[in-house]
Amino acid sequence: MSRVVVVTGTDTGVGKTIATAALAARAAAAGERVLVVKPVQTGIGGTAPDVPDVATVRDLAGVDALQLVGLDEPLAPDTAARRQGVALPTVREHVRRVRALLAGTTDTCRAGQEGYDLVLVEGAGGLLVRLDAEGGTLLDLARDLTFALRRRVDGVVSSPVEVVVVTRAGLGTLNHTELTVTALRAAQVEPAGLVVGSWPDVPGLAETCNLADLPRVTGVALLAVVPEGAGSLSPEDFRAAAPQWFREV
């Protein structure tokens, strides 16, 4: 069954892109056809542009990656688009695009391919960062995908959409993660798991306690712990190591 995983962070800079690459590498190692979609990327213009997240994921995980909109300034997407005079696609349009990718009814799919087994959708910053001029957020995208793709099998309604929350290891992460999980549940979207985006080589007391407390206070399983500096590994080493960062839940 084809599925969608929406990857959000509790904030910007929490390791979301590397966590997305790890999720992609793990799925690809299991034989899945994987596509990573970045609805909006900011900060890729000017004299010192950021490396697009899709380029990082494509290099590390060796999977297809698609950026839908690129904006020059390192700002929230709606602000960067307004300053640049760019019209952003609506969340509804992103939902239609992801559904087409799953079904293989888009020219993004390779010739002869029947769509993707897994489409990973990486957000920009945190869950409530605005992705379009109408106020649509990644939360709206996750919720709309969940309801658009839900199906009934033997009287049970389910959806092939999961949301993974990438969080920090250190002090403050419990509050930020609980806020993100609470917002998801308020929209009737139950998060599938947490990923610690950057685990220090020498964890302190806060990090050690948070590793146990994150699933305890949120009621959400800890799926993976990504080591600090994982993004600096060679693609070969990253793909070999990524499956080992995940836990049995």
CA angle 69, 159, 169 (to 5 degrees): 65
Q: Are 78 and 91 in contact (CB under 8 A)?
A: no
Instruction: Compute CA distances 143 → 1, 39, 87, 91, 160, whole Å.
Output: 19, 15, 23, 10, 12
Which segments within the chain are labelled E, that is strand?
3-9, 34-41, 64-70, 118-126, 151-153, 156-158, 161-167, 193-199, 222-227
**247 alpha carbon, distance to own chain's centre:** 18
DSSP one-letter code for 130: B
Among the options 16, 26, 38, 99, which is catalytic? Answer: 38
What is the rounded distance in angstroms from the CA atom of residue 85 to the CA atom of residue 132? 13
**Of the candidates 43, 46, 242, which has an alpha carbon nearest to the alpha carbon of residue 125?**
43
DSSP one-letter code for 159: -
Q: Give catalytic status of residue 38 as yes or no.
A: yes
Q: Are 192 and 222 in contact (CB under 8 A)?
A: no
Q: Which of the residues are catalytic?
A: 38
